[in-house]
Amino acid sequence: MTGTPPEPEPADAHINASDARSYWQSISADVNGMLGGYAHISHTDLEGSRAFLAKLGIGTKTGLRTVRRALEGGAGIGRITQGLLLGLAEEIDVVEPIAKFTAALAGQPGVASVSNIGLEEWHPEPGVVYDIIWNQWCLGHLTDEQLVAYLRRCKGALRPGGEAVIVIKENMSTSRGDIFDEVDSSVTRIDKKFRDLFEEAGLELVRTELQSGFPRHIFPVRMYALR
């Protein structure tokens, strides 16, 4: 007599924060290290992000607005803080568990605080609110449950008024489901999974688009704006 075969474990069940941090501790604290050997795409990436924010009304050109405070989650060496957010926000808070990556950020003009903790551990400081919360190439290290909880905390830390935004920019799985990467203990999610998790976190998707100009042989990258 045969029974029903067990359901396969979801991809995020294999995520191990200790394994992920061990991997990143071995990576060089430079743009090439942050981008897995693809430092040459950084300019294209930042320009795509800048254009995406402009469509949300944020930027330095005529008719756009700058903001008071931003947060970069999973910031690494602060590539986005330095290449994008410092030009748009008066103050930036940085969250990044690997201290060697953020060593050069502390004390920089415009960098208000650096917290060397994981996003699953982060809680906003009482009374601090953000106009932009930026998360890129880092959320794959959170389980689905951790990601929903993190997004709920982000939602509670947005500046009231309806213009503050959470931006997520992540690789997209090109398979039918999420993909676990045992090298850095992360998950690459499908678009539908992200949308389901956003809904579970009580967030509204206000804009999304694919990053253009990246090499065709790497994962597609999608940007989401949430409120």
Q: Provide the residue-wise pLDDT of the chain in tens; the chain has 227 residues.
A: 556 666 789 999 999 999 999 999 999 999 999 999 999 999 999 999 999 999 999 999 999 999 999 999 999 999 999 999 999 999 999 999 999 999 999 889 999 999 999 999 999 999 999 999 999 999 999 999 999 999 999 999 999 999 999 999 999 999 999 999 999 999 999 999 999 999 999 999 999 999 999 999 999 999 999 99
- Give, as one character, the DSSP assignment of residue 214: S
Secondary structure in 3-state letters for 121-149: CCCCCCCCCECEEEEECCHHHCCHHHHHH
Show the tokens assigned to 35.
């981008």
CB–CB of 42/36 below 8 Å?
Answer: no
Q: What is the pTM of this model?
A: 0.96
In this prediction, residue 106 carries a pLDDT of 85
The domains of the chain, with CATH numbers, are: 11-226 (3.40.50.150)
Strand partners, 73: 95, 135
E-state strands within the chain: 67-73, 89-95, 111-115, 132-136, 165-171, 179-181, 186-188, 205-210, 221-226
